Structure 1
Amino acid sequence: MKPSRFAPPTEVPGLATRRIAADILDGVLHKRRTLDDLLDGAAAHPGLKTLSDRDRALMRRLVATILRRLGTLRHVLSRLLDKGLPTDAPRAQSALLIGAAQILWMDVPDHAAVDLSVRLVQADRRAAKYAGLVNAVLRRCAREAEPLIREVEAQSLDVPSWLMARWIAHYGEATARDIARAIGHEPPLDLTVKGNPAQWASRLHGETLPTGTVRTLLQGPITMLPGFTEGAWWVQDAAAALPARLFGDVGGKAIADLCAAPGGKTAQLAHAGARVTAVDRSPGRIARLLDNLTRLSLQAETVVADATEWPGESFDGVLVDAPCAATGTIRRHPDVAWLKHEADIDALAALQRRLLQKAVALLKPGGTLVYCTCSLEPEEGEQAVDALLAADSTMRRLPVDPAEVGGLAEIINPQGDIRTLPCHLPNPDPRLAGLDGFYAARLVKA
């Protein structure tokens, strides 16, 4: 009798972690579900609740490493397989990816990586016949893969070809390859703190960035870190923390935050004294935003609505953090590279144009509009703002001064907008380097 795919609690240590990782990989690569949904959403994998904190962290890191290095992994495995990856047994494919990722990039003994991957296929009815193949290929991987990786290091295989071609066309080949290298590294943990960044950097064994963000390499459950329970900080990439600062002094001002969830920018504005109205079309995401604000002891009015159709009122400032292809966040969300298509960009750009038009309509004369996206694609950034300025004579650009962004002049483009790249903010330790790719422009209504 073949063992069940859902083995009892007495199974080999570590096997449940790999099985759940395989299920989540299948959800991303074959069912096109987002990693966030599978890890934290309403449809999160039920097996996550059975894992210890340590195993849950290992599983997340394993899945992220595979997605971050997927192109290279597929290349290496194709060179080690005579007939290519098995197409009739997804679990065999997942087991090979899981085993190879551990051998090549993770601190897991080779024999354990091989053994657990073999057990993974043995427990699956369709994949069991490939147990011998998985064993042989992963043993070869441990012996031979390093030169295969060196052979393709310069080819940027971990970025889809259509996306790499776009980056080369817009940023130049050298910068595009710098971006590709940067997103290959696991990102640090960035925190926006309510006050005293130096003190929190010391408590969290991190450093303070020029922009005021605290950056740390601490791992484990966020809820267990000092300062979480008392609401002293929230998780927010250093680049994502910049757009809300472009409003300047917001004390007492009415600010609308469109597409606001999960609420990092809402929290910044509320903490700075603004009267914030946070708008998002998803009730679940608004609920998450409210949970975050409650922990932080901050307040904002919340509205569940499609921002493009929301009647609203007149505001001193409007922040549009528009839905986008999110290609600037691939180092934090490596599934984005494999879930998005070039055709998505045009559809999203149309939505961004409607959001910009709505933002202008909500803005008082003399008010400030900040538009941002976490995308590296010009259609979703520079081109969207240029089109608005060409069509609406009431709006003008107010360039960003380097002093407003910690003196980081390299993140300001010739038009005076913010354009951060994953290869910005270098550090001798690549684990402490980089930013999400963000675009932000500040406009003022006449």
Structure 2
Amino acid sequence: MVVKGPGSGTLRKTHRGRRPPTRPEGEKPGLAARRTAARLLGAVVDAHTPLDALTDGEHGHPHFLALAPRDRALVRAILASALRHRRTIETLLQGYLERPLPAGAHALSHILHVGAAQILFLDVPDSAAVDLAVSHAAADPRAARFSRLVNAVLRRLARDRQKTLPRALAQTCDAPDWLAERLTAVYGAVQARAIMEAHRREPPVDFTVKTDPSLWAERLGGRVLANGSVRVERLPAPVPDLPGYAEGQWWVQDAAASLPARLLGDVTGRAVADLCAAPGGKTAQLALAGAQVTALDQSASRLARLNANLQRLGLAATLVESDLRRWRPERPFDAVLLDAPCSSTGTIRRHPDVAWTKTPEDIATMAQVQEQLLESALLLVRPGGPLVFSNCSLDPAEGEALVEALLARRQDVTLDPIQPGELPGAEDFIAPQGWLRTTPAGGGALADVDGFFAVRLRRLR
């Protein structure tokens, strides 16, 4: 059931209905994929466009949608490598340039980065990567006069990579300066470096399973984590083709993302609100645990995705399309989970574009939004009931500092500290203050997870 409330969102415009571009007759195979990769890389780093939107299978960029599935996969791999290692690639390329690229030569820079990503990090023949980059440059009026430079630089990069790449990786932090400085200020130089090293690696895939984790670990080729999630280091097939997907036996959910819902305790038969709920992993957890879940989100398209996920899983919830800041239900809930929108810096391993699309200003803006959402969420929980606030940011402005400010100004709200035994495997992530802070560089029984913050609060009256 979907209920529209105040502030309901509207479906965003998409590229559906546009005629996709076609490959010109006689064009080299593979060139369209490289050209698309460079175009999308520019959209990410120059226009701060989220990569998921550009590579969405239904509503993505028209040049991406025009590609065959195999070429789409190659574009995604190129972009992931180019973004995860952007500073390293930049450093190596600069070493082969007698002078910096001309101001505004963005197209040329993106062509070089796409070629370098293949040479340094992907299983693509050097000759193919260089040849297609040169052809791309020669066909682009903005870069044509530099095609010989592209050829020379990428050939030298390929020739020297065994010597130069390890040194560049050791000396470079693959993050924008503002993010590296911010992580260092919060976590210290050693821990910040470890977090940024984790951002370079493709993460494993975690699954929350409905029954028998050991069985699904065997069937999926993974292992059971201390919290009950099943982890697979490398997927043997696309997610929809894996055993159990069609039958709704599991859903993809990072192990850290599975922790906040557990902080509500036993929710059997209780009325629970999952706020900002899409795409629905936590909604599914709560429904599976026996809660009467109301899942709220202001985006119609995201709610449609949540509904589809619940249908596949055979789980039920009441869906409400509304802006949390304006929504007032008839009665308060027994428990509330607010997994708030944030800068998403804790998910850079999975979404390397986040490092290059977000800014310090975005963090400040999101912290203000989270403060508003948290104040609104407190109105929805009955006195004495738990409210869990969480997000996938690594920045304390969106977590620890925000909660401390709330507790300082609200005498009717108290912190309910998380006890170590509540979250098996996550003991090392529980801070002395009683909240949860995971990082990709954390250790213990539940290592190699996304960055997450979670805290449990209670209204006194």
71, 75, 84: which one aligns with 1:59? 75
Count of residue pairs the alignment pairs up? 438
Q: What SS is found at the alignment partner of 2:362? A: helix
CA contact (8 A) 1:231 1:295 kept: yes
Report the counterpart of residue 436 of structure 1 in structure 2.
450
CA contact (8 A) 1:90 1:127 kept: no
CA contact (8 A) 1:156 1:177 kept: no
257, 281, 284: which one aligns with 1:267? 284
Report the counterpart of residue 124 of structure 2 in structure 1.
108
Distance 2:97 2:269 in 1: 64
Distance 1:379 1:81 in 2: 40
251, 261, 273: which one aligns with 1:244? 261
Q: What SS is found at the alignment partner of 2:304? A: helix
Q: Deviations over 1:22-71 (max 9, x none)?
A: 22112111222101111117640224444343332222121111111111
Q: Deviations over 1:157-176 (max 9, x none)?
A: 31112111221121111111
CA contact (8 A) 2:426 2:444 kept: no
Q: Deviations over 1:314-358 (max 9, x none)?
A: 001111111111111111111111111112222211111111111
Q: What SS is found at the alignment partner of 1:183? A: helix
68, 85, 88: which one aligns with 2:84? 68
For the structure 1 residues 126 and 165, does the alpha-carbon distance in structure 2 shift closer, same or farther, using more than 3 Å as the test? closer
Report the counterpart of residue 286 of structure 1 in structure 2.
303
Report the counterpart of residue 445 of structure 1 in structure 2.
459
Larger mean Cα displacement after TM superposition, 52-61 or 201-210? 52-61
The answer to whether structure 1 residue 141 and structure 2 residue 141 are counterparts is no
For the structure 1 residues 9 and 292, does the alpha-carbon distance in structure 2 shift closer, same or farther, using more than 3 Å as the test? farther
> AA paired with 1:424?
G
Structure 1 gap ranges (5+): none
TM-score normalised by the chain length of structure 2:
0.90
CA contact (8 A) 2:277 2:297 kept: yes
Larger mean Cα displacement after TM superposition, 265-274 or 149-158? 149-158
For the structure 1 residues 158 and 87, does the alpha-carbon distance in structure 2 shift closer, same or farther, using more than 3 Å as the test? same
Distance 1:13 1:220 in 2: 25
Distance 1:228 1:67 in 2: 30
Q: Deviations over 1:78-128 (max 9, x none)?
A: 111122235455332222111111111111121111112122223323222
CA contact (8 A) 1:374 1:436 kept: yes
CA contact (8 A) 1:86 1:93 kept: no
Distance 2:302 2:206 in 1: 21
Distance 1:423 1:9 in 2: 49
Distance 1:196 1:50 in 2: 41
The answer to whether structure 1 residue 344 and structure 2 residue 386 are counterparts is no
Larger mean Cα displacement after TM superposition, 216-225 or 275-284? 216-225
Distance 2:273 2:371 in 1: 17
Instruction: Tell me which of the two structures has the higher relative contact order, counting C-alpha pairs closer than 8 angstroms and 6 or more residues apart.
Output: 2
**What are the residue-to-residue correspondences of 1:211-250 with 2, within 5 Å?**
211-216=227-232, 217-218=234-235, 220-250=237-267
Distance 1:220 1:96 in 2: 31
CA contact (8 A) 2:425 2:444 kept: no
CA contact (8 A) 2:173 2:180 kept: no
For the structure 1 residues 24 and 137, does the alpha-carbon distance in structure 2 shift closer, same or farther, using more than 3 Å as the test? same
Larger mean Cα displacement after TM superposition, 255-264 or 38-47? 38-47
Larger mean Cα displacement after TM superposition, 281-290 or 125-134? 125-134
Distance 1:206 1:50 in 2: 34
The answer to whether structure 1 residue 198 and structure 2 residue 214 are counterparts is yes
406, 422, 438: which one aligns with 2:424? 406
Report the counterpart of residue 124 of structure 1 in structure 2.
140
> Displacement of 1:156 after TM fit?
4.2
The answer to whether structure 1 residue 421 and structure 2 residue 439 are counterparts is yes
Report the counterpart of residue 311 of structure 1 in structure 2.
328
> AA paired with 1:416?
G
34, 51, 61: which one aligns with 1:45? 61
> AA paired with 1:230?
E
Distance 1:263 1:21 in 2: 30
Distance 2:29 2:447 in 1: 34
Larger mean Cα displacement after TM superposition, 50-59 or 330-339? 50-59
Q: What SS is found at the alignment partner of 1:234? A: strand
Distance 1:183 1:54 in 2: 25
CA contact (8 A) 1:250 1:274 kept: yes
Distance 2:314 2:165 in 1: 49
Larger mean Cα displacement after TM superposition, 201-210 or 396-405? 396-405
CA contact (8 A) 1:86 1:92 kept: no
> AA paired with 1:287?
A
Identity rate, percent:
51
CA contact (8 A) 2:92 2:168 kept: no
Larger mean Cα displacement after TM superposition, 414-423 or 212-221? 212-221
> Displacement of 1:220 after TM fit?
4.2
Distance 1:52 1:191 in 2: 28
Report the counterpart of residue 5 of structure 2 in structure 1.
none
CA contact (8 A) 1:373 1:438 kept: yes
Structure 2 gap ranges (5+): 1-20
CA contact (8 A) 1:231 1:297 kept: yes
Report the counterpart of residue 14 of structure 1 in structure 2.
30
> AA paired with 2:130?
V
273, 276, 282: which one aligns with 1:256? 273
Distance 2:397 2:376 in 1: 18
The answer to whether structure 1 residue 83 and structure 2 residue 103 are counterparts is no
